[in-house]
Amino acid sequence: MCGIVGYTGPRDCLPILIGGLERLEYRGYDSAGVAVVTGDSPDDYSLEIRKEEGKLQGLKDLVEAQPVSGTFGIAHTRWATHGAPNQINAHPHTDETDHIALVHNGIIENCDALREMLKTKGHTFHTETDTEVLCHLVGEYWDGSLEKAVAAALRIVEGAYGIAVISDLDPGKIVGARKGSPLVVGVGDGEYFVASDVAAILSHTNQVIYLADEEMVVVTRRGFRTQTLNEIPIAKDVEEITWELSQAEKGGYEHFMLKEIFEQPRCIQNAIRGRLEDDGWRAHIGGLNISDEELARVERVVFLACGTSWHAAMIGEYMIEEYCRLPVEVEYASEFRYRDPVIDGKTLVLVISQSGETADTLAAMREAQRRGAMALGICNVVGSTIAREADGGMYIHAGPEIGVASTKAFTSQVATLAVLTLHLARIHGLSDEPARSLIHGLRRIPDQMEAILADASHCRVVAEKYAHHANCLYLGRGYNFPVALEGALKLKEISYVHAEGYPAAEMKHGPIALIDENMPVVFICTKDRAYDKIKSNMAEVKARSGRIIAVATEGDTHVEGIADDVFYIPQTIDALVPLLSVLPLQLYSYYVAVLRGCNVDQPRNLAKSVTVE
């Protein structure tokens, strides 16, 4: 996802802009740039652009070779959508007169029609990007007021955007706006910021304003004001960010992903803290905003999510079916939003999203709400769009997840879903014993995770044996089937090894043809209700010279006679096994990626939050 940073105030803006982009590098990008207005008086104001393909160091080298200094500017890291990732397509883009500069996160869907319209008015374009069209449109509407020109342009634009705009004709001012892509305003002491993510500005202020869709902000050195696209003033609350910037640092680990893998015991403690009651074996959830009576009327549950969050949703499906005895469906958000789904007022929609900004998930939630469903957001980022637009919800309290490959957010989502399942189940008649067992099991998870993480070096040793393979199969049953999918996703997205997850029994219906000594097979074969069945699947692979890596329950010596390598995890109840069985797979994929020399925290082609369709 693209990153946006803007500053206006008394200080030199360049180091603030570059520093902000550094905080956003984790999101994935392929070029970067800044626009700064230099000069101290209207006669010598000049809009200067510096932009470069590739990583941020290229831009730093460029501004060192060609310095630029001023007290207001905007900056951008681009994740290419329209147009190749190169210097000419990098942001900022300028208008026909080169007096207006704009940075953009999102997609302008009617950019072709707008480009043709502007060409008839004499505009010429130098790039393939939709962003350049948007900037020329602002220039077309320029009539002395930057915010009026931006508002007029956005009123005829279709698509998604988070933007920041400056001009040397309107000094000191930054105009921001959003629709579908996040934009926050930082309120400093006599200085103001705009950014696509609070991480970019948290070192300067923890006082922020979150724009909602189709809202604009006009920021000057004297303050800010917020309005609609129709230029109607609106009041916005200043909110305080509660987490520290240090939480978004590596803390001595080689990669954010490894740090976040090791943070998981504490994250689970945070996810369940204050939410489990021994008195009555119930859950206590603040902010759900849906009453017990409304939940008692729920007859069906639908999950909406993408990627790793979709895997967490699958585990939630098994939990809710087992404990609440309600029918559950898990939908890819991107599919749900374009079907004609059957949704009504007795459907509870659970929307899972770490970032709370995933475009497909947000659109699917809005579609479900439009059809009358109650929607609960299960998010990590406080104040994110999904969290704010849902009818209620729960934060997973995992802290900022910087690594593109989701790890601590996944297990925090599963733990949070376990708490929500307990709450819903008790309303739907779950008895004391399974409720007590679920609470006790959850409470033991952090220590059990610590025990697994203490043996991380074994995962590295096993990774060294298999890192050269170009393919891998992950097989699991029951609660471990979504874990097989998640393990495969982890390996493919950070090491670029082709990996597939399958229900173990499905192997006979095709994938078994792939089995030979060159196809490592990861079996998640913990001691649960499907254990005996999965042992047969392992024997089928062994009989065909397949090499087996097993995730097994401590004390299961039988598995050592079949598997070439084993990761052991402690015993827990079936519903909580994913919280433990995923850990060796996270570590295994991490070490394979490191051994293969991959960029673990910023894998190629990937973004931390996909805010475009």
Pattern 487-506, ligand AGP, x by CB under 6 A: ------x-------------
How many residues can be counted in the chain? Answer: 613
* Choices 249-257, 347-355, 445-453, 511-519; region in contact with ligand AGP by CB under 6 A: 347-355
In the set 2, 267, 324, 525, the catalytic residue is: 2
Binding residue for ligand AGP (CB under 6 A) from 129, 167, 353, 526? 353
Pairwise CA distance, residues 234 & 263, whole Å: 40
Pairwise CA distance, residues 421 & 409, whole Å: 18
What residues from 304 to 323 belong to the interface with ligand AGP (CB under 6 A)? 306-309
What residues from 49 to 78 belong to the interface with ligand AGP (CB under 6 A)? none
Please identify, using beta-carbon distances, which residue of 61 and 335 lies nearer to ligand AGP.
335
Angle, CA 168 vertex, CA 109 and CA 78 arms, to 5°: 40
Pattern 444-483, ligand AGP, x by CB under 6 A: ----------------------------------------
Return the residue nearest ligand AGP (CB atom).
Answer: 307
| 611 in contact with ligand AGP (CB under 6 A) | no
Q: What is the dihedral of CA 366, 405, 212, 370, to 10 degrees?
A: 0
Please identify, using beta-carbon distances, which residue of 6 and 584 lies nearer to ligand AGP.
584
The distance of closest approach from Cβ of residue 585 to ligand AGP in the complex, given in angstroms and rounded to an integer, is: 12
Binding residue for ligand AGP (CB under 6 A) from 153, 166, 404, 559? 404
| 610 in contact with ligand AGP (CB under 6 A) | yes
CB atoms within 10 A of CB 462: 22
| 609 in contact with ligand AGP (CB under 6 A) | yes
Number of residues in contact with ligand AGP, rule: CB under 6 A? 15
Please identify, using beta-carbon distances, which residue of 442 and 610 lies nearer to ligand AGP.
610
The distance of closest approach from Cβ of residue 18 to ligand AGP in the complex, given in angstroms and rounded to an integer, is: 26
* Choices 214-222, 351-359, 463-471, 566-574; region in contact with ligand AGP by CB under 6 A: 351-359
User: Is 2 part of the annotated catalytic residue set?
Assistant: yes
User: Is 306 part of the annotated catalytic residue set?
Assistant: no
The distance of closest approach from Cβ of residue 22 to ligand AGP in the complex, given in angstroms and rounded to an integer, is: 20
| 602 in contact with ligand AGP (CB under 6 A) | no
Q: At a CB cut-off of 8 Å and minimum separation 6, what does 64 contact?
A: none
Query: Any alpha helices (H) in 528-609, and if so which ranges?
Result: 531-542, 577-595
| 406 in contact with ligand AGP (CB under 6 A) | yes
Closest among 131, 136, 79, 89 to 359, alpha carbons compared: 79
Q: At a CB cut-off of 8 Å and minimum separation 6, what does 509 contact?
A: none
Structure-token pair, residue 130: 């939709």
Chain-centroid distance of CA 423 in Å reads 26
| 131 in contact with ligand AGP (CB under 6 A) | no
| 358 in contact with ligand AGP (CB under 6 A) | yes
The distance of closest approach from Cβ of residue 295 to ligand AGP in the complex, given in angstroms and rounded to an integer, is: 24
Structural contact between residues 427 and 246, judged by C-beta atoms closer than 8 angstroms: no
Please identify, using beta-carbon distances, which residue of 100 and 306 lies nearer to ligand AGP.
306
* Choices 118-126, 150-158, 191-199, 349-357; region in contact with ligand AGP by CB under 6 A: 349-357
Angle, CA 594 vertex, CA 589 and CA 596 arms, to 5°: 95
Backbone torsion region of residue 280, taken as left when φ is above 0, otherwise alpha when ψ lies between -120 and 50, otherwise beta: left
The distance of closest approach from Cβ of residue 229 to ligand AGP in the complex, given in angstroms and rounded to an integer, is: 26
Pairwise CA distance, residues 298 & 318, whole Å: 17
| 264 in contact with ligand AGP (CB under 6 A) | no
Pairwise CA distance, residues 469 & 498, whole Å: 9
What residues from 361 to 380 belong to the interface with ligand AGP (CB under 6 A)? 361
The distance of closest approach from Cβ of residue 441 to ligand AGP in the complex, given in angstroms and rounded to an integer, is: 25
Q: At a CB cut-off of 8 Å and minimum separation 6, what does 190 contact?
A: 9, 10, 221
Q: What proportions of the chain, in percent to the nearest 5, are helix, strand and coil?
A: 40, 25, 35
Q: How many Cα atoms within 13 Å fall on the side-chain side of residue 469? A: 23
The distance of closest approach from Cβ of residue 413 to ligand AGP in the complex, given in angstroms and rounded to an integer, is: 8
The distance of closest approach from Cβ of residue 256 to ligand AGP in the complex, given in angstroms and rounded to an integer, is: 12
Structure-token pair, residue 106: 């999102």
Pairwise CA distance, residues 154 & 144, whole Å: 17
Write phi, then psi, for 26 (nearest 5 degrees).
-60, -20
| 196 in contact with ligand AGP (CB under 6 A) | no
The distance of closest approach from Cβ of residue 420 to ligand AGP in the complex, given in angstroms and rounded to an integer, is: 16
Binding residues for ligand AGP, rule: CB under 6 A, are: 306-309, 353-355, 358, 361, 404-406, 493, 609-610
The set of catalytic residues is 2, 608
